[in-house]
Amino acid sequence: MTQNEKAAAAKKRNHAIMIIILILLFILFIMPFILVIINVFKTKADIVSDPLALIGAHGFTMQNFPEAMAKMNFWNVFKNSLIITIISTVLTIFVSAMASFVIVRNGKWKFCSGLFALMVASMVIPFQVLMVPLVSVYGGIFGVLNHRLTLILMHTGFSVSMATFMFHGAIHTNIPLELEEAALIDGCSRWQTFWKVVFPLLKPTIATVAIIDAMAFWNDYLLPSLVLTDKALYTIPIATQAFYGTYSTDIGLVMAALLLAMLPILILYLFLQKYIVAGVTSGAVKG
């Protein structure tokens, strides 16, 4: 066997070992989700007696879902989460895209460069540092907590910096200034140029920001738990936590509640997954 053949064989062996390790890690990571899927269609007795069985002794059942939905008031908390997530995500995308466009095209202004630097710097501040001021100022002084609009604006404010950073890279790298100049020559205003030329070209980044922020808003527990105390305004994470505290012994209902909480965001990800890589890499390499 020649040296080249030995090197090729070693490369194949290393590649096979890496694939096996990745598969094992994937199975380890996905196992909790598989257990939820398996056990959500079994009775409480079957889950306790044999949680790894594909089908319980009492057979396949769907009873956990209507019970969990009724006891956690699912449609109301689903509506709350949907309203907050959609409006917060849309606001974040529009505000960030417009802000990044102004910053990129007016980069020589010290105000724009300073604003962008502040946005990037704010990304390293942990939310836990701001928890007490948020509750004391907005709750104790202004009394604006326990409103959906307050939570929406807070979500938008905390996510704008990262979204602006992503849009900034995409506009700076992938959208030539000549396109905008041609649109201006054709009679478009700056506003029309942004919406008709620049914004449509940002689809991969828009999809990436949408899925990242929608997942963050949908799954967020800490901020909504600080802002919303009225049960009628609970989002799915808060309702799921309260549900678990009440029905922790009925593991079938808990599994159903967890699956109901996960499904909407998983469906959104499946629809937008093809844009994720394109959006993340957009602006990463200047060419």
What is the per-residue pLDDT for 286? Answer: 45
Please give the model's pTM, rounded to 2 decimal places: 0.79
> What is the rounded average pLDDT for all residues in the chain?
83
Q: Stretch 217-222: mean pLDDT, rounded?
A: 89
Select, from the ranges 39-53, 105-119, 156-170, the one with the highest average predicted confidence (pLDDT): 156-170
Q: What is the DSSP string of the chain?
A: --HHHHHHHHHHHHHHHHHHHHHHHHHHHHHHHHHHHHHTTS-HHHHHH-TT-SS-TT----THHHHHHHHTTHHHHHHHHHHHHHHHHHHHHHHHHHHHHHHHHTTTSHHHHHHHHHHHHHTTS-HHHHHHHHIIIIIIIS---S-HHHHHHHHHHHHHHHHHHHHHHHHHHHS-HHHHHHHHHTT--HHHHIIIIIGGGGHHHHHHHHHHHHHHHHH--HHHHHH--SGGG--HHHHHHHHHHHHTT-HHHHHHHHHHHHHHHHHHHHHHHHHHHHHHHTTTS--
Residue 22 has a pLDDT of 93
In this prediction, residue 95 carries a pLDDT of 94
Give the per-residue pLDDT at 283.
Answer: 47
Please tell me the predicted confidence (pLDDT) of residue 19.
94
Predicted confidence band of residue 89 (pLDDT cuts 50, 70, 90): very high
Per-residue pLDDT, averaged over 192-205, amounts to 88
Top mean pLDDT of 94-103, 131-140, 143-152 is at: 94-103
pLDDT at 134: 79
89 or 179, higher pLDDT: 89
pLDDT level of residue 278 (50, 70, 90 thresholds): low
For residues 104-124, give the mean pLDDT. Answer: 82
